[in-house]
Amino acid sequence: MLDGQALTQVHPAKPQHLGAEYAAQFGDEEVAAAYQHRPPYPAETFAIVEPLLGPKPRCVLELGAGTGDFTIGLALCVNYLIAVEPSRPMLDRGRRRAGALGAHVEWHASPAETYAFDRRYSAVVAAEVSLLKSRPARLICILRTDPLSRRSWSDGSESFSGP
């Protein structure tokens, strides 16, 4: 269940302004290069996220990994991390950054919609940073794949659904 809706329920289409043309800009080399100027995730972010990922050993899938801003900190919390990113320039930057820090991450150049989901994951994570009135706002969604599903948000709220 997601907000009281069965996961099999058809959800409305993505807003038109967030279509393919919008997504294409993230494949631009200059856009990927600009990501280095985004504010970092504070260390306490990962102290909050870590217990929400489920029991160890953890194999976590990150969707929309970008240049690795969240990926690198997340890698320290898990046994195995698969990062999925459709933008080749962003993925290449993330791969270099993670490698330079010794973080083990398996990178896949793929949109989330076409990724194979070829194994069992402890959790599926998506993180986003946006600037609202010059203050960083963070939204992190964690979907647990164990029988007690948990959806966690960065404001500390959670929702649960079980079998």
pLDDT digits (tens, 9 = 90+) for 51-75: 989 889 999 999 999 999 999 999 9
CA distance 131 to 86: 22
Q: Which residue has the higher pLDDT, 70 or 153?
A: 70
Mean pLDDT is lowest, of 6-20, 50-64, 148-162, for 148-162
Alpha-carbon distance 54 to 146, whole Å?
Answer: 8
CA 51 vs. chain centroid, Å, equals 16
Q: Taking 70 as the threshold, does the pLDDT of residue 6 lie above it?
A: no
CA distance 53 to 120: 13
Q: Where are the domains of the chain?
A: 41-161
Whether 162 shows a pLDDT value over 60: the answer reads no
Give CA separation, 54 vs 20, 37, 40, 64, in Å: 34, 32, 24, 21
Q: What is the pLDDT of residues 103-140, one digit of tens each?
A: 789 999 998 888 888 888 899 998 874 433 344 445 56
DSSP 10-29: PPPPPPGGGSHHHHHGGGSH
Percent of the chain clearing pLDDT 70 (strictly above): 67
- The matching CATH number, chosen from 3.40.50.10860, 3.40.50.150, 3.40.50.360, 3.30.470.20, for 41-161 is 3.40.50.150
Confidence (pLDDT) at 73: 92
**Residue 22 identity (one-letter amino acid):** Y
Determine the Cα–Cα distance for residues 51 and 142; give it in Å rounded to an integer: 11
Distance CA 116, CA 113 (A): 9
Q: Taking the CB of residue 98, how many other CB atoms lie within 10 A of it?
A: 21
Return the pLDDT at 14. 58
Greater confidence, 95 or 102?
95
Question: 3-class SS at 104?
Answer: coil
For the full predicted model, state whether its pTM sits above 0.95.
no
